[in-house]
Structure 1
Amino acid sequence: MIRALARWILALALGAIGIVHFVSTRGFRVVVPDWATKATRLDKDAIVIASGAAEVALALGLIALPKERRRVGIATAAFFVAVFPGNVHQWRTHRSTPGLDTEARRFGRLFLQPLLVLWAVWCTAPDKTPRRRIRRRTR
């Protein structure tokens, strides 16, 4: 029950921030390191849109694919790891984004990322309680 609630909260947060990536692309460009554009051969706007699309897709997967929950959780954790260099870049370059407009918030965000990884893994872990088998009566 608690894991399900945590999974829904994570999905809603991912979906919301993913949508914000589409609405405020310019606001998130500062998070994209220059090396990422060279490595992906995409411009910063395309990277922001792609990361927003990934967040929305992961959010939908957390909600709509219960049989794939574990895989979606691992993919979500991997996504959080993949975007971490952008968080470091934002902190090192002292650039603001929506909600991260002070040094303390940008620095604190660095410590939030590992917690998000753990959250994604924890809330999508398989239930450990064994299911009771229903015995069918034979006549």
Structure 2
Amino acid sequence: MKPRPTSALQTLARLGLGGFLTFAGVSHLTFARDEFQAQVPKSLPLNEDFVVLASGIAEISLGTAFMLWKEKRIPLGWLLAAFFVAVFPGNISQYLTRTDAFGLDTDRKRFIRLFFQPVLIGVALWSSGAWQARKRRG
């Protein structure tokens, strides 16, 4: 069964989110590497730089695919939502450890940022048509 087309607004949101994610991935590998290392939870038993590089490659791959691979936008929407869930502990860790990065230099700013992750999850599911496709299946 072919997925229903998305609206122009959903398409713009999908392209914007994919572009944002691709840019963020490039920044993981280049100019913001140290900032992203600040978000890696200390309890994670992996090298911080490895985590930042691996997540950057994942973001570039997911963002590019999300923008360009329209035929797979629904599974990519679910995958992107899962990715945003997977990296959320880094945001929580940054808040709990009071680590400054990306201009988040107060507890209030770090706390407010936590509320943006559910928005990213929602945009991934909505813009891809994944949430609507789920409703039609059952």
* TM-score, normalization by structure 2: 0.83
| Structure 1: runs of 5+ lacking an equivalent | 129-139
Query: Please, which moves more after superposition, 20-29 or 100-109?
Result: 100-109
CA distance 1:14–1:99, shift in 2 (3 Å)? farther
Is 1:83 the counterpart of 2:87 in the alignment?
yes
Please point out which of 26, 30, 42 is paired with 1:34. Answer: 42
Given the alignment of the two structures, is residue 108 of structure 1 paired with residue 116 of structure 2, yes or no?
no
User: How many matched pairs?
Assistant: 123
1:21 maps to a residue whose letter is H
Say whether 1:14 aligns with 2:21: yes
Q: Any idea what the Cα deviations from partners look like across 1:37-94, whole Å, max 9, x if unmatched? A: x2xxx31000001111111111111112111111111111000000011000000111
Per-residue deviation at 1:101?
A: 2.8
The letter for the 2-side match of 1:43 is N
- Relative to structure 2, which stretch is displaced further, 59-68 or 77-86? 59-68
Runs of 4+ with >4 A deviation: none
2:11 corresponds to which residue?
A: 4
TM-score (normalizing by structure 1): 0.83
Measured in 2, the distance between the counterparts of 1:86 and 1:65 equals 28
Give the CA deviation at 1:106.
Answer: 1.1
Whichever residue aligns with residue 51 of structure 1, its letter is: S
Moved more, 15-24 or 81-90: 15-24
Report the equivalent of 1:135: none
Unaligned segments of structure 2, at least 5 residues = 1-7, 133-138
Specify the code of the residue in structure 2 equivalent to 1:22: L
- Output aligned runs, 1:45-60, within 5 Å: 45-60=49-64
Question: C-alpha distance in 2, partners of 1:112/1:27?
Answer: 18
Counterpart Cα distance in 2 of 1:97 and 1:8: 26
User: 3-state SS of the aligned residue for 1:97?
Assistant: coil
Q: Kindly state the Cα deviation for residue 103 of structure 1 after the two structures are TM-superposed.
A: 2.2
Q: Point out the more displaced range, 71-80 or 15-24.
A: 15-24
